[in-house]
Structure 1
Amino acid sequence: MLQIDGISRKFGDVTALDDVSLEIGQGEFFALLGPSGCGKTTLLRIIAGFERPDAGQLWLDGADLLPIPPNMRPISLMFQSYALFPHMSVAKNVAYGLERERLPKQEIRQRVGEVLETVGLSAHASRRPAQLSGGQRQRVALARSIVKRPRLLLLDEPLSALDKKVRAEMQLELKRLQNDVGITFVVVTHDQEEAMSLADRIAVFDNGAVRQVDEPVALYERPRTPFVADFVGANNLFHGTADGPDALKSADFGSLPGTPLTALGAEAKALLAVRPEKVELVDDDAAGGVKGSVLDVSFYGGVSHISVDVPGHVKPVLVAVQGASAVQPGAKVRVRWEAKDAVIMAADQ
C-alpha cells in the first residue's frame, strides 16, 4: 500500500534520513522504532507532507504522494500532544475536520456518533478536554483522526503522555481499534515494549538508517545487527571471532555456543547475543558454561533478574528465571546456554 523508496533528508550537516526504503501493507500495524534523533519522526512528517525529502520517492496505492499537499493526502496524523481544541466539546473536536470539508450536517452527526461509539466515548460527547482523563483525551484524538476515514493513520509517540497502567490499557485499545476500523496504522515510538505489543512488523532505525525490518518475535529472537541486538530488549553480548558453524571464539572464555545467522569467514570479528531468559544458572562445579559470582537478585513479580559478575566480561551477565530465585548474592555459579538459543552475527555491521 505504502512504498517508501530511497528517502533521504538532511538538515544542514545532520543526516536525518539516509536512503530509507520500506513497504507497508494494507491493514498493517507498522512501527518505526528507534532512539531519539534517529529519523523516525522526520519520516513520519514526510509521509504526512509536512517535510519534503532531498531525494527518494513515496507512493500510496501506486500514486505519487510527494506532489500532493498535506491537506489533500488521504492520511491523518495524530500528534504526540493530541492538540485538542480546549474550548470545544468532544463531539465538536471530532467533527471539526468534517465541518471543514463542508459535509452535510446529518452525515457529520452520524459519523461522529459512530466513531465515538467505537472508542467508547459516546457518554462524554458534550464534555470538554479538560474534563477528561489522559486516556480519554487520547481516544478523542484518535476519534478525530479516524472519523475522516483516512487510508493511513500516522501516530507520533501516541502513548508517551500516559502513565504506565493507562499506557498498557491503551496499547490493547489501539490494537482493537485498528482491527475494528481496518485502517493502516504507522506508529513512531522509542518504547520497545510498545512496538512489540502493537505492531505486526517493526522497522528499527539508527542514525537515519533502517537496521532491520521484521515481525516482533523474529526481531527479538534473531537480531541481525549489533545495534538491534543491543537496542531491542535486554541482551548479553560477547565479542570474539567466528569459530566454525556453531560457536564464537572468545579470548577470555574460549568457545561459546551460538548459531550464526549468515555465513561468517574464518576468524571474522563476530558478536554473540543471548537473551537473559535463555541463560541457565548452574552450580559452580557443573560442566560447561562460564564461571562467575552473583552480584544482585531482583524480583519483579513472576520473574527474577539475577546479575552475575563474570571476570573478563565488561558488563554483568543478566539471567532471568521464573518466580522467586533461591540464589543469594555472592554465590559462585556458572552461566551457560544452548547453541540454538544464542545468535552470532558480524561485529562490523
Structure 2
Amino acid sequence: MLKVEGITRRFGDVTALDDVSLEIRQGEFFALLGPSGCGKTTLLRIIAGFETPDQGTVTLDGEDLLALPPNRRPISLMFQSYALFPHMTVAKNVAYGLERERLPRQEIKQRVGEVLETVGLTAHASRKPAQLSGGQRQRVALARSIVKRPRLLLLDEPLSALDKKVRADMQLELKRLQHDVGITFVVVTHDQEEAMSLADRIAVFDSGAVCQVDEPVPLYERPRSPFVAGFVGANNLFEGVAGDADGLKSEEFGVLAGRPMTELAAGGKALLAVRPERVELVGESEAGGLRGSVLDVSFYGGVSHISVDVPGRIQPVLVAVQGASAVEAGAKVRVRWNAEDAVIMAVDQ
C-alpha cells in the first residue's frame, strides 16, 4: 500500500534519514521503533507532508504522495500532544475536520456519532477536553483522526503522556480500534513493549537507517544486528570470534553455544546474544555452563530477575524465571543455555 524508497533527509550537517526504504501493507499495524533522534518522526512527517525529503520517493497505491500537499493526502496524523481545541466540546473537536470540508450537517452528525461510539465517548460528547482524563483525551484525538476515514493513520508517540495502567488499557484499545475501522496504522514509538504488543511488523531505526524489519516474535528471538539485540528487550551479550562450527569462541569462556544468524567468516568478530528467560540457573555442582555467584534477586510479580556475577565478565548475566525465586544473593551457581536459544551475529569491523 505505502512504499518508501531511498528517502534521505538532511538538516545541515545532520543526516536524519539515510536511504530509508520500507513497504507497509494494507490494513497493517506498523511500528517505527528506535531511540530519540533516530529519524522515525522525520519519516512520519515526510509521509504526512510536513517535511520534504532531499531524495527518494513515497507512493500510496502506486501514486506519488510527495506531489500532493498535506491537506490533499488521504492521511491523518495524530500528534503526540493530541492538539485538541480547549474551547470546543468533544463532539465539535471531532467534527472540525468534516466541517472544514463542508460536508452536509446531517452526514457530519452521523459520522461523529458513529466514531464517538466506536471509541466509547458518546456520553462525553458535550464535555470540554479539560474535563477529561488523559486516556479520554487520547480517544478524542483518535476519533478526530479516524472520522475523516483516511487510508493511513500516523501516530507519533500516541501513549507517551499516559500513566502505566492507562497505557496498558489504551494499547488494547488501539489494537481493537484498528481492527474495527480497518485503517492502516503507522505508529512511532521508542517503547519496545508498546511496539511488540501493538504492531504486526516493526521497523527498528538507528541513526537514520533501518536496521531490521520483522514481526515481533522473530525480531525478539532472532535479532540480526548488535544494535537490535541490545535495544529490543533485555539481552546477555558476549563478545568473541566466529568458530568453524556453531558457537562463539571467547577468550574468557572458551566456546559458547549458539547458532549463527547468517554465514559467518571463521575468525571474524562476532557477538552472541541470549535472552534472560532462555538462561537456566543451576547448582554449582551441575555440569556445563559458566560458574558464578548471585548478586541480586528482584521480584516483579510474575517474574524474578536474577543477576549473576561471572568471573571474567564486566556485566552480570541476567536470568529471568517465572514467579518467586528460591535462590538468594551470594549463592554459588552456574548459568547455561541451549545452542538453539542463543544467536550469533557478525560485528561490523
Other-structure match for 2:312: 312
How many angstroms does 1:191 deviate by?
0.3
8 Å Cα contact 1:16/1:38 also seen in 2? yes
Other-structure match for 1:335: 335
Correspondence 1:254 to 2:219: no
Other-structure match for 1:227: 227
Other-structure match for 1:56: 56
Stretch moving more, 262-271 or 149-158: 262-271
8 Å Cα contact 1:245/1:260 also seen in 2? no
How do 1:135-174 residues align onto structure 2 when only pairs under 5 Å count?
135-174=135-174
| 3-state SS, counterpart of residue 177 of structure 1 | helix
One-letter amino acid of the counterpart of residue 301, structure 2: G
| 3-state SS, counterpart of residue 112 of structure 2 | helix
Report the Cα distance in structure 1 between the residues aligned to 2:157 and 2:306, rounded to whole angstroms. 32
8 Å Cα contact 1:299/1:305 also seen in 2? yes
Report the Cα distance in structure 1 between the residues aligned to 2:243 and 2:292, rounded to whole angstroms. 23
| 3-state SS, counterpart of residue 4 of structure 1 | strand
| 3-state SS, counterpart of residue 137 of structure 1 | helix
TM-score, normalised to structure 1's length?
Answer: 0.99
How do 1:212-291 residues align onto structure 2 when only pairs under 5 Å count?
212-291=212-291
How many angstroms does 1:348 deviate by?
1.3
Report the Cα distance in structure 2 between the residues aligned to 1:171 and 1:154, rounded to whole angstroms. 15
One-letter amino acid of the counterpart of residue 15, structure 1: T
How many angstroms does 1:246 deviate by?
1.6
Deviations 1:45-76 (A, max 9, x none): 00000000000000001000111000000000
TM-score, normalised to structure 2's length?
Answer: 0.99
| 3-state SS, counterpart of residue 249 of structure 2 | strand
How many angstroms does 1:268 deviate by?
1.1
Report the Cα distance in structure 2 between the residues aligned to 1:148 and 1:300, rounded to whole angstroms. 43
Number of equivalences: 349
Other-structure match for 1:45: 45
Other-structure match for 1:179: 179
How many angstroms does 1:106 deviate by?
0.3
Report the Cα distance in structure 1 between the residues aligned to 2:36 and 2:302, rounded to whole angstroms. 31
How do 1:114-133 residues align onto structure 2 when only pairs under 5 Å count?
114-133=114-133
How many angstroms does 1:245 deviate by?
3.0
Report the Cα distance in structure 1 between the residues aligned to 2:241 and 2:339, rounded to whole angstroms. 15
Deviations 1:320-342 (A, max 9, x none): 00111111111111100000000
One-letter amino acid of the counterpart of residue 313, structure 2: H
One-letter amino acid of the counterpart of residue 20, structure 2: V
Other-structure match for 2:66: 66
Percent of aligned pairs sharing the same letter: 83
Superposition RMSD in Å: 0.6
The answer for unaligned runs of 5 or more in structure 2 is none
One-letter amino acid of the counterpart of residue 140, structure 1: V
Stretch moving more, 47-56 or 242-251: 242-251
| 3-state SS, counterpart of residue 71 of structure 1 | helix
How many angstroms does 1:244 deviate by?
2.8
Other-structure match for 1:27: 27
Report the Cα distance in structure 1 between the residues aligned to 2:313 and 2:87, rounded to whole angstroms. 58
How many angstroms does 1:265 deviate by?
1.1
8 Å Cα contact 1:245/1:259 also seen in 2? no
Report the Cα distance in structure 2 between the residues aligned to 1:39 and 1:311, rounded to whole angstroms. 39
Correspondence 1:94 to 2:64: no
Other-structure match for 1:295: 295
One-letter amino acid of the counterpart of residue 252, structure 1: E
| 3-state SS, counterpart of residue 285 of structure 1 | coil
Report the Cα distance in structure 2 between the residues aligned to 1:256 and 1:296, rounded to whole angstroms. 24
| 3-state SS, counterpart of residue 6 of structure 2 | strand
Deviations 1:209-230 (A, max 9, x none): 0000000000000000000000
| 3-state SS, counterpart of residue 186 of structure 1 | strand
Report the Cα distance in structure 1 between the residues aligned to 2:265 and 2:225, rounded to whole angstroms. 16
One-letter amino acid of the counterpart of residue 337, structure 1: W
How many angstroms does 1:314 deviate by?
1.9
Report the Cα distance in structure 1 between the residues aligned to 2:244 and 2:143, rounded to whole angstroms. 55
One-letter amino acid of the counterpart of residue 187, structure 2: V
Report the Cα distance in structure 1 between the residues aligned to 2:135 and 2:302, rounded to whole angstroms. 27
Other-structure match for 1:191: 191
